[in-house]
Amino acid sequence: MNTSSRRYLVCFFACAFLVLASVSAMNYRVDPYLLHQWDSPLLQRLRPTNEKLSAWGKTYAVARYRPAIIYIGNSRTEMGMPTRAQATFPDKSVFNSAVSGASLGDAIRLAEHAAKVSRIETMVWGVDAPTFSLDLGSARVEDGLTGADNAFFARRALLNLKRGLTVDMTQDSLRILGGSFGDVCLSSLALFGQRDETCVISRMKGWGGAAHAIPLRLQEFGDGEGPTPPSTPALDASIGKLCQGSMRLRMYINPTHALTMDVLHWRGKWDAMQAWQRGLVQLVERHRKQGCDVRLYDFSGFNSVTTDPIPLASGKSEMRYYWEVSHYRDNVGRMILARLFGGDIVPPADFGVELSNANVDAHHAAMRAARERYHVEHAQETAYVQQVLNGPRIPH
pLDDT recorded at residue 11: 87
Burial of 121 (0-12, 13-18, 19+ CB in 10 A): middle
pLDDT in tens, 250-270: 999 999 999 999 999 999 999
Name residues whose C-beta falls within 8 Å of residue 98's C-beta, 6 or more positions apart in sequence.
71, 72, 73, 74, 75, 76, 77, 78, 81, 107, 110, 126, 193
Mean pLDDT of 171-181: 93
Residue 5 reports pLDDT greater than 80: no
Task: Indicate the average pLDDT of the chain.
Answer: 93
What mean pLDDT do residues 321-327 have? 97
% pLDDT > 90, the chain: 81
pLDDT of 355 reads 98
The three state secondary structure string of the chain is: CCHHHHHHHHHHHHHHHHHHHHHHHHHHHHCCCCCCCCCCHHHHCCECCCCCCHHHHHHHHHHHHCCCEEEECCHHHHHHCCCCCCCCCCCCCEEECCCCCCCHHHHHHHHHHHHHHCCCCEEEEEECCCCCCCCCCCCCCCHHHCCCCCCHHHHHHHHHHHHCCCHHHHHHHHHHHHCCCCCCECCHHHHCCCCCHHHHHHHHHHHCCHHHHHHHHHHHHHHCCCCCCCHHHHHHHHHHHHCCCCCEEEEEECCCCHHHHHHHHHCCCHHHHHHHHHHHHHHHHHHHHCCCEEEEEECCCCCCCCCCCCHHHHCCCCCCCECCCCCECHHHHHHHHHHHHCCCCCCCCCCCEECCCCCHHHHHHHHHHHHHHHHHHCHHHHHHHHHHHHCCCCCC
Q: Do residues 362 and 370 make contact, with C-beta atoms less than 8 angstroms apart?
A: no
pLDDT digits (tens, 9 = 90+) for 185-200: 999 999 999 999 999 9
Question: Which whole number is the average pLDDT over 350-362?
Answer: 98
- pLDDT, average across residues 218-236: 94
Q: At what angle do helices 360-377 and 258-266 cross, to 10 degrees?
A: 100
Where does the pLDDT of residue 344 fall: very low under 50, low under 70, confident under 90, or very high at 90 and above? Answer: confident
Q: What is the mean pLDDT of residues 313-326?
A: 95
Residue 396: is its pLDDT beyond 70? no
pLDDT at site 146? 86
Average pLDDT of span 299-328: 96
Q: pLDDT class for 392, splitting at 50, 70, 90? A: confident
pLDDT, mean of residues 73-89: 94
In angstroms, rounded to a whole number, what is the distance separating the alpha carbons of residues 116 and 134? 20
CA atoms within 13 A on the CB side of 326: 27
Instruction: Summarize the confidence of residues 58-84 as an average pLDDT.
Output: 96
pLDDT digit string, tens, across residues 362-373: 999 999 999 999
Band (pLDDT 50/70/90 cuts) for residue 7 is confident
Q: What is the mean pLDDT of residues 280-307?
A: 97
What's the average model confidence in pLDDT over 345-361?
Answer: 96
* pLDDT for res 352: 97
CB 73 within 8 A of CB 126: yes
Pick the range with the lowest mean pLDDT from 12-21, 120-129, 137-146, 338-347. 137-146
Per-residue pLDDT, 13: 80
Could you tell me if 311 and 192 are in contact, meaning their C-beta atoms sit under 8 angstroms apart? no
Could you report the per-residue pLDDT of 127-146, keeping only the tens digit for each?
999 999 998 667 778 878 88
Residue 32: name the closest of 199, 202, 176 by CA. 176
**Percent of the chain with pLDDT strictly greater than 70:** 97
Find the mean pLDDT for residues 155-167: 92
Confidence at 219, pLDDT banded by 50, 70, 90: very high
